[in-house]
């Protein structure tokens, strides 16, 4: 990765953050919770590296349509996020495989 790639990545991230800050406050709160959840759950690779910008696109469309954020995603942020990454392996999956299998198998 070159310095130019790093600089371009930072520019893209700053533009992304500016788009999030332009959303209404309730959308910003939900976006930040989704981002926190996704970073915690940790999909190994965000699908096409466009998951977060895709969420902002979705939210911008909701704002333009005059919908509230909960009308778009429902009341369970985690379930909505899980639906977005359902086919993506997570770091928890990788860790589970590395230690030998199924959850709860360590005590057996």
Is residue 81 scored above 60 in pLDDT?
Answer: yes
The DSSP-derived string for 48-88 is: GG-HHHHHHHHHHHHHHTT--HHHHH-S-HHHHHHHHTTTS
Quote the mean pLDDT of the chain: 85
Higher-confidence position of 95 and 65: 65
What pLDDT score was predicted for residue 45?
Answer: 66
- Residue with the bigger pLDDT between 41 and 104: it is 41
Distance CA 73, CA 62 (A): 10
**Are the CB atoms for 76 and 34 separated by under 8 Å?**
no
In the block, tokens 């959850």 appear at 103
* pTM, to two decimals: 0.77
């Amino acid at each position: 990765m070159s310095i130019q790639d790093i600089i371009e990545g930072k520019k893209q991230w700053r533009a992304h953050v500016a788009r999030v800050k332009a959303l209404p406050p309730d959308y910003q709160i939900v976006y930040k919770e989704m981002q926190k959840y996704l970073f915690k759950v940790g999909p190994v690779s965000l699908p096409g590296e466009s998951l977060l910008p895709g969420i902002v696109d979705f939210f911008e469309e909701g704002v333009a349509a005059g919908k509230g954020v909960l009308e778009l995603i429902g009341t369970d942020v985690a379930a909505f996020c899980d639906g977005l990454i359902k086919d993506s392996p997570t770091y928890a999956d990788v860790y589970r495989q590395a230690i030998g299998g199924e959850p709860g198998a360590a005590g057996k």
